[in-house]
Amino acid sequence: MMLGSIFRLVRIRYEGPLCIIQLVLCSENDDDVKPIFEQMKADYHGNGNTNAGVFGIVLANMGKYDKAESYLQRSLDESPPNHHTEETNAYNLSVHYVNLGNVASKKGDFNKSLNLHHKALEIRLQLRRSNDPSIADIHNLIGGAYFHKGEYKRAIESYNEALEIYRQAYSEDHTKMADVFSNIGVVHFKQQKYLEALSYQQKVLDIQKKHLHANHHLLGGYHSNIAATYVYLHNSDLALVHFNQALKIYQKSLPSQHPDIAAIYNNMGGIYIDQRDLPQALSYFEKAAAILHQTVGPTHPSAIDVGRNIQYIRSFVHRRK
């Protein structure tokens, strides 16, 4: 059975305890399933991926990075189709390098990732205009690899290269712009440039509010990032405002026992400790602990940290009695 096969159910019958299901493999030319095939091509094959390449991407999305790398490498080693033009084959080669570079990043091999993404960029620059958005996509990936290596200046340079190209193709409130703004904000946060980080985080939130529904869980994440930055800016009041915004969104968009909700409770507990409001802090830590014990278990590092916070408050209150 090939990946991406589509079957039509013909008949179901029972023979004693067995259920016999008869299926027929559909053709791409069958009118009733043709739209499905076209969508699958667009999702996976449209970027020059072969069957092995498609399987590699699927495995990478599942977190099976070693197997993904094996299939992507197999796809790279395959001979290009005879009917493809030289330009198409070159473009597809750049796609293979991008896919392998992404897997290398997931595996933490950022030098290899940079090498592969630079190969992809070199090919793409020979095939496309220098302001083609697909070139900006690669600059953004290169910036990510530099960031993870701790080379923040080079990361910012790559992100700015991406921004310069995106600005020629998209409006300032396009989601591609938000992606790069978010990455730049993370770099500034790591550099402890919290005001600069906050500026980019706010840009991201303002853009994504235009594209996502009001209770989309990603908006909760953006509010949480802003709140964390306000914590480092020693503005606990505004940090609480954004943590509360994140909490409201998460409570409407995520399961009630989701670890992200526990993280918000834990962060809010920390703020209330700083404000010397120990009863409130204890309340939020206990809420976080209740979720973490059910989701990741009491021995998980996050659950242990919250447990220590609870013990600290209880022992402090006990000593004061």
* Residue-range domain boundaries for the chain: 1-43
Show the beta-strand stretches assigned E in the chain: 7-15, 18-25
Quick count: other Cβ atoms within 10 Å of Cβ 199?
15
Cα 186 to Cα 178: distance, rounded to the nearest angstrom:
12
Under a CB-based contact definition with an 8 Å cutoff, are residues 78 and 96 in contact? no
**pLDDT, position 267:** 97
Q: What is the pTM of this model?
A: 0.78
* Phi, then psi, of 122 in degrees rounded to 5: -60, -45
**pLDDT, position 158:** 98
**pLDDT, position 25:** 56
The tokens 């597809």 sit on which residue? Answer: 92
Cα 110 to Cα 102: distance, rounded to the nearest angstrom:
9
**pLDDT, position 62:** 77
Q: Give the DSSP per-residue string, 31-65.
A: TTTHHHHHHHHHHTGGGT--HHHHHHHHHHHTT-H
* Phi, then psi, of 96 in degrees rounded to 5: -60, -45
Q: 266, exposed or middle or buried, with CB in 10 Å at 0-12, 13-18, 19+?
A: buried
First to last CA, the chain: 71
CA R_g for the chain: 25
One pLDDT digit (tens) per residue for the chain, 321 residues: 444 444 555 565 666 666 565 665 555 455 554 554 454 445 444 455 556 777 788 778 778 889 889 888 888 887 677 667 888 889 889 999 999 999 999 999 999 999 999 999 999 999 999 899 999 999 999 999 999 999 999 999 999 999 999 999 999 999 999 999 999 999 999 999 999 999 999 999 999 999 999 999 999 999 999 999 999 999 999 999 999 999 999 999 999 999 999 999 999 999 999 999 999 999 999 999 999 999 889 999 999 999 999 999 998 877 776
**pLDDT, position 268:** 98
Residues in the chain: 321
* Phi, then psi, of 44 in degrees rounded to 5: -120, -45
**pLDDT, position 53:** 74
